Amino acid sequence: MPTDEKTTVDEAFIRRALDEADLNALRMALYQATGDESLLALKLQQTPAFGGSSTLTTVAAEGQDELKAKALAFLLANPAGFGEVKPSDAELRRLFEAFRNEALTDKDWRYRRDLAAFDEHPRLARWTDGKPQVPDGYQVAIIGAGFGGIAMGVQLEKLGIPYTIYERRAELGGTWSRNIYPDARVDTTNFMYQFFFEKNYPWREYFARAPEVRDYLEHIAGKYGVKQHMQFNTDVRQAEFDEGSGTWTLTLAADGAEQVVTANAVVAASGLFANPKRFDVPGAEDFRGQLIHTAECTGQEDLDGKYVAIIGNGSTGVQMMSAVARRARSVGVFQRTPQWISPRERYGELLRPETRWLLDTMPYYWNWYSYSISTMRLGMQKTQEFDPAWQAAGGLVSKANDELRDLLTNYIKAKVGARPDLVEKLTPQHAPMARRMIVDNNWYASLLEDHVELVTDKIERLTTGGVLTADGRERHYDVIFTATGFDVEKYLWPTDFRGLGGQRIEDLWTDPAGLGPRAYLSLTVPDFPSLFIMYGPNSQNRAGSLIVWMEVWARYIAQALIATIEGGHRYAVVKPEVFEDYNQRHDAAMRELIWYDKASMGRNYYVNHWGRQQVNTAWRLEDQYESLEQFNPGDYTFG
């Protein structure tokens, strides 16, 4: 984004830009620009970030002035004429090691390689030997026009494989067009919650609100030629594999009318959060005010001067509360289980013009800033791992997790310490990270306001006028928001997928004697040929950006299609023994992780009612990446 005409870029402006900069990212960018080896020798320090759940590597205090002086001199000398030179892999690996002063294994390096996004289009699948003749009529059906469907579309567009994206809504964006409750926004900063093939998008906020993310996806879909392949108002009701032709038959409800199409492969990018979880309490039908699930907000809700209840204190309930409290006359916040809620630097902040200018002007600063943010989160993984030796010595989970618990407990005390009753009610028993870490969007501060009440009594029922709690008290409300989340056990639901022998995926995944939804590499299931699921069972990465994985899954699926087309096959289906072996190894690894923390069981949406953690992957990022980097034809049978 060009600096607007009224902004004068003088020395004072540049100094302000440098004061706000990520100094370690700046150091690397300046090194690349100048080759000044002394920059690599600057001492580094580790700083806790995001409430202690992350560790930012930055330049130690004694080297900061020197670094800024050198950067100032460089920027004053008109870097506009500077020619960027993409580093070789060997050079990049050396720079990554210098970035955090760490030695990288080959596996670490491969996972990190594209986090700095130096390639024009990272994580792109390629034909083996130029584009072959794609069979006449070949079609890939993609279900869903959110991040996943768009990532897949971009891959297929680049490869020249024909595809259509079916979207039941009237517009693209998925999560970010649907969830428009007050102050809906990302809690993962957009310098990692982004596609890495789109460089330096001019985000207005560090943590964009839903409409900005939606606009971003609109921009991507338009720029990369994907939007024209989208068919809106089209619900995929059924997808059935036909063994004779080796293709899928999809039954669609398109603008209300039934339509039948065929596809050679199906990519279900239908999202994990497609089905709102209803608030299951007696009396819901009696309530005469507005009862709204947060995923069904229209943005037109009249809250001014109203009595409002928010039921639920997960990510959404906490995110919206302060914005609701600014408008409502009174807010009742209903909490069943306290949650760990962490501060997050720059949350709710606009990017200042100085920072925007630095991102636009300093060669490769955006690349290193994105890398810095992404790698800052890696340490989170340590907090998710039980340490038996630490536990045997009396610790709760591990040193990292127990320290995080202390930091977050102190944060609660710092925020609401003046109200010991609140400290007690707000302090969780379960370990941090056992459930999704929530971001403090002014939640604690708002709870201290006179017109906001935290209610922890069990809800007995809704009445015509409001909420009746177990202590016999009825509170009156005009509007009740149910921030009760999503039914994440219902992967792909209600689309009826039928694979080989007419087998239904829903039957497989809801079989009481089974284990619930499972897939190979989170992507594919035996007996369902050339069906790939994005954000499928056990797909969610343990740290960092989900969008990186959208790119990685899309590349893997594209590689599978390439292998099928180049081999002259009709479809690929994962071998049952490969699937079983993978899931057994995966589940064994999972049992060592925090999601099986006893204090959170039964209240942890990651763990399904078969007792299996089905949302996150058990693998560390570099292991997850290694298994997905290259499609292995040996894992599949081709037909």
Ligand X SMILES: Cc1cc2nc3c(=O)[nH]c(=O)nc-3n(C[C@H](O)[C@H](O)[C@H](O)COP(=O)(O)OP(=O)(O)OC[C@H]3O[C@@H](n4cnc5c(N)ncnc54)[C@H](O)[C@@H]3O)c2cc1C
Binding site for ligand X (CB under 6 A): 143-149, 166-169, 174-175, 179, 184, 186-188, 193, 235-236, 269-271, 273-274, 316, 495, 534-535, 546
β-pair type (265-268, 531-533): parallel
| 3-class DSSP assignment, residue 537 | coil
> Is the sign of the CA dihedral 619, 622, 623, 628 positive or negative?
positive
- In whole angstroms, the minimum distance from the beta carbon of 294 to ligand X comes to 7
First to last CA, the chain: 50
- Preceding amide of 576 cis, omega within 30: no
Q: Would you state the torsion angle of the CA atoms of residues 581, 585, 588, 589, taken in this order, to the nearest 10 degrees?
A: -160
Q: What is the CA radius of gyration of the chain?
A: 25
- In whole angstroms, the minimum distance from the beta carbon of 445 to ligand X comes to 21
- In whole angstroms, the minimum distance from the beta carbon of 365 to ligand X comes to 24
- In whole angstroms, the minimum distance from the beta carbon of 610 to ligand X comes to 23
Residue 168 or 555 having the CB closest to ligand X: 168
Residue 58 or 541 having the CB closest to ligand X: 541
Quick check: 64 and 23 in contact, CB under 8 A?
yes
- Tell me whether residue 47 is exposed, middle or buried, using C-beta atoms within 10 angstroms of its C-beta: 0 to 12, 13 to 18, 19 or more: exposed
Residue 134 or 253 having the CB closest to ligand X: 253
Residue 356 or 436 having the CB closest to ligand X: 436
Residue 147 or 163 having the CB closest to ligand X: 147
Q: Among 323, 369, 50, which Cα is nearest to 190's?
A: 369
Name the region of 416 (left: φ>0; alpha: ψ -120 to 50; beta: rest): alpha
Residue type, 163: Y
**Token pair for residue 9?**
């870029």
Residue 68 or 277 having the CB closest to ligand X: 277
- In whole angstroms, the minimum distance from the beta carbon of 156 to ligand X comes to 15
**Token pair for residue 550?**
């959208």
Quick check: 143 and 266 in contact, CB under 8 A?
yes
Quick check: 625 and 455 in contact, CB under 8 A?
no
- In whole angstroms, the minimum distance from the beta carbon of 484 to ligand X comes to 12
Rounded distance between C-alpha atoms, residue 196 and residue 8, angstroms: 31
Residue 279 or 307 having the CB closest to ligand X: 279
- In whole angstroms, the minimum distance from the beta carbon of 118 to ligand X comes to 23
Q: Among 399, 436, 430, 431, which Cα is nearest to 616's?
A: 436
Residue 100 or 436 having the CB closest to ligand X: 436
- In whole angstroms, the minimum distance from the beta carbon of 347 to ligand X comes to 11
3-state helix/strand/coil string of 170-219: CCCCCHHHHCCCCCCECCCCCCCCCCCCCCCCCCCECCCEHHHHHHHHHH
- In whole angstroms, the minimum distance from the beta carbon of 414 to ligand X comes to 24
Residue 75 or 186 having the CB closest to ligand X: 186
| H or E stretch covering 237 | strand 234-242
Residue 289 or 536 having the CB closest to ligand X: 536
- In whole angstroms, the minimum distance from the beta carbon of 151 to ligand X comes to 8
Q: Among 388, 413, 415, which Cα is nearest to 401's?
A: 388
Quick check: 357 and 566 in contact, CB under 8 A?
no
Quick check: 167 and 232 in contact, CB under 8 A?
yes
- In whole angstroms, the minimum distance from the beta carbon of 20 to ligand X comes to 23
For 226-247, give one letter per residue: b (16+ CB within 10 A) or e: bbebbbeebbbebbebeeeeeb
In the block, which residue shows the tokens 């081999």? Answer: 567
Residue 172 or 447 having the CB closest to ligand X: 172
Rounded distance between C-alpha atoms, residue 286 and residue 463, angstroms: 6
- Chain centroid to CA 416: 30
Residue type, 209: R
Residue 151 or 303 having the CB closest to ligand X: 151
- In whole angstroms, the minimum distance from the beta carbon of 632 to ligand X comes to 24
Q: How far is CA 618 from CA 53, 381, 473, 596, in A?
A: 18, 10, 44, 11
Residue 63 or 544 having the CB closest to ligand X: 544
- Preceding amide of 276 cis, omega within 30: no
- In whole angstroms, the minimum distance from the beta carbon of 535 to ligand X comes to 4
Residue 90 or 260 having the CB closest to ligand X: 260
In 419-553, the DSSP E strands lie at 438-439, 452-455, 459-462, 466-469, 474-476, 479-482, 496-498, 531-533
- In whole angstroms, the minimum distance from the beta carbon of 227 to ligand X comes to 14
Residue 485 or 529 having the CB closest to ligand X: 485
- In whole angstroms, the minimum distance from the beta carbon of 441 to ligand X comes to 12
Quick check: 296 and 279 in contact, CB under 8 A?
no
